[in-house]
Amino acid sequence: MERLVDELQALGVGPRDLQHIALTHIHLDHAGATGDLCEVFPNATVHVQEDGASHLVDPERLVASTRRTFGDAHDRLWGEMKPVPADRIQAWRSGEPGPCPELRPVATPGHIAHHVAYLDERDGMLFAGDAMGIVLSDGPSHPPTPPPAVDLRAWRRTLDEIGEIGPERFGATHFGIHGDVDTRREQLQSRLDALEARVRTALHAGDEEDARRYNDEIREEFAPFMGEDRVGAYFEMFSAAVDWAGVAFYLKRNP
């Protein structure tokens, strides 16, 4: 958060200048500092899909869910999530306009049901959050599928819609701005399909050890692009075994 505030200040955006905070979704790595940011930027309105708004006002259930996923590492990774005052939130519903005329919200469920991306109508930039996957260095797009809310069918529809919109480039929160939109979109769908098939086979065989193998394979795959230390740091925070578990959770409810 401190880095974000400093970088905005360097661009001439001071505490009273920021007008909008547009959230793609409420996972803590995307929205956990929103309450703090509201204190720093007193004139900013928080924009979020309507199903996520209540969890910003009262984050107790959200934090409890995240704590179940991250266990003892939770507090070290995320710290305290401060509530967002209800009168600072503008809840968005599908079909409504967005934070400002040039920024169009696009419902992009899949990673989580209330996920929203934002298309900058001026230059074709899509702020994709996690909808276009994780992009680590020059490696392939990795599907972030943690439990409990991933929806593989909805994600396929989302990727199809992004293809129809045809953005010039996209920004992935993890990480960077990329121009190879169709290549990354098709690659992500292929990897989602492969992970679904793999987890389905493992569940049928009763082989839940495959989660550990998947995590090891993903780390080995990305090491040439990032180096073992950076890969280790990332996947210790966002384990690919948790992504495997998210797909398993989905398949058990959608056989």
Q: Which domain holds residue 213?
A: 101-255
Do residue 130 and residue 233 come from a single domain? yes
81-100 residue pLDDT tens: 999 999 999 999 998 998 88
Residue 69 is predicted with a pLDDT of 81
The amino acid at 135: V
Q: How far apart are CA 15 and CA 25, in angstroms?
A: 23
* Stated pTM of the model: 0.94
139-187 residue pLDDT tens: 999 999 999 999 999 999 999 999 999 999 999 999 999 999 999 999 9
200-240 residue pLDDT tens: 999 999 998 999 999 999 999 999 999 999 999 999 889 99
Please, are residues 4 and 96 in contact by the beta-carbon 8 Å criterion? no
Do residue 86 and residue 110 come from a single domain? no
Domain total in the chain? 2
- Of 42, 70, 100, the position where a domain reaches its end is 100
Band (73; pLDDT cuts 50, 70, 90): confident
pLDDT surpassing 90 at residue 68: no
What's the order of all strands across the beta sheet hosting 45-49?
20-22, 45-49, 89-92
Do residue 213 and residue 234 come from a single domain? yes
Q: How far apart are CA 154 and CA 250, in angstroms?
A: 12
Residue 74 is predicted with a pLDDT of 87
